[in-house]
Amino acid sequence: MKTTVEERIRYRLLRWGKKGPVRRGLAVMGIFFCIAFFHGVHYLRDNRKRLAMVMMSLVLFAAYASFSFPIFADNEERMTDGQLHALIGDESVSLVQEAEISMEELENLEEELLLDGFEVSRLQEGTEEEQFDLEDILNYRMEQGESEASAAEPPEQADTGTADFSKEDWRLILVNKQHPIPEDYSFTLATIKGSKQCDERIIDDLLAMMQAAKEEGITLLIKSPYRSDARQEMLFEKKIKLYMGRGLSYMDAYKLSSQIVMVPDSSEHQIGLALDIVCDTYESLSEGFGETRAGIWLEEHCAEFGFIVRYPKGKEYITSVEYEPWHFRYVGVEAATIIMDREITLEEFVEELE
């Protein structure tokens, strides 16, 4: 008769346990464990299919949970498109909630949050944002040896009717998702003040515009001028990560981010010709700025200084960017006058040059 491993072990334990009471006790315990162990082994062997099913479910559940967890963590329903846009307005809160971002990083982020297209007023509360009005800038430039007079003089008015435009003109460079910045594009940065920089060729017109606004009792503030490529990319990636953390897939996060921050290499901020301008009484980059005195004044007068409202209302289908009453692009007085008078976009203007 064939004996199993279990039977042999039990038999040996029994024999070993007969020699004294202590051994007997140990042998009984050994037999007990032996029975329990082999019982478990037999059970698992007889129920292999069931076991496999249970393990599979566990693996699948773990995999599913790791993908979808942020949805539950966020305590939000699955988001519709509309809700996604509503989220954008809630940016500052979400960043604070993002666990990986420390308070120190948050402070560094503060300036970077000043992106086109979303509300940052809440985060700005109680923080010292580096922004300058005209007085700061002029004082700074005086210290740097620039003459105040040159800044205060408005640029010469050009004859807009006969202006001969060239697509090669640096002022008319078209930068958008379809037209990334040419690799060989170069320009000289000038410091407005502190870390704020822009193309040196537009500074005088910019200051003249701020001066003219000031004479009307409007204090303009420069928010985001030049942004470096690396910074732009970093901001873009940060955005994608943020939305993925909210349960979006990479593709959805990319799409949404590209509506808010420009895709790397397609932002005018990178060539120093774009400025986000607000005023002392309305500092957030949101649509409401267009209704303020400063917003209205800028729309009426920016062209006199070579600037245009780059992303006007109702032209989203051309610019692919939502209405941004705070984003001004320098194109030179002649082109700006035509663009603002005809209420067209830079895309349309450049198209006509072809």
Is 324 noted as a catalytic residue in this protein? yes
Cβ burial of 169 (10 Å; 0-12, 13-18, 19+) is: middle
Comparison of 101 and 234: residue with beta carbon closer to Zn ion: 234
Give the residue with the Cβ less far from Zn ion, 205 or 276. Answer: 276
b/e string for 218-238 if b means 16 or more Cβ within 10 A?
bebbbbbbbbeeeebbebbeb
Query: What are phi and psi for residue 64, nearest 5 degrees?
Result: -65, -45
C-beta of residue 220 within 8 angstroms of C-beta of residue 279: yes
Least distance from Zn ion to the Cβ atom of residue 309, Å: 11
Catalytic site residue from 110, 111, 324, 334: 324
Q: In sequence order, which ranges of the chain are alpha helices (DSSP H)? A: 5-17, 21-46, 48-73, 81-88, 91-97, 103-112, 121-124, 134-143, 148-152, 203-215, 229-245, 250-260, 293-301, 316-319, 333-341, 346-353
**Smallest distance, Å, CB 180 to Zn ion?**
17
- Binding flag, residue 334, Zn ion (CB under 5 A): no
Query: Which residue's CB is nearer to Zn ion, number 91 or number 246?
Result: 91
CB of 189 to Zn ion, least distance (A): 17
Q: By C-beta, is 110 or 116 nearer to Zn ion?
A: 116
Q: What is the Rg, in whole angstroms, of the alpha carbon atoms belonging to the chain?
A: 34
Minimal distance, residue 246 CB to Zn ion, in Å? 24
Three-state SS at 308: strand
According to DSSP, residue 201 is labeled: G
Q: Which of 196, 246, 327, 329 binds Zn ion (CB under 5 A)?
A: 327
Give the x-and-dash track for 272-291 against Zn ion (CB under 5 A). Answer: ----x---------------
On the CB side of 89, how many CA atoms lie within 13 Å of its CA? 7
* Residue with the CB atom nearest Zn ion in the bound state: 327
Our CB check for Zn ion shows the closer of 13 and 235 to be: 235
User: Among 273, 291, 269, which residue's Cα sits nearest to residue 282?
Assistant: 291
What's the closest the beta carbon of residue 147 comes to Zn ion, in angstroms? 29
The type of residue at 140 is Y
| Residue list 103-122, contact with Zn ion (CB under 5 A) | 116
Q: Using the minimum distance from each CB to Zn ion, give the nearer residue, 117 or 247.
A: 117
Minimum CB separation of residue 145 from Zn ion in Å reads: 30
Catalytic residue numbers read 324
Binding residues (CB under 5 A) for Zn ion: these are: 116, 276, 327
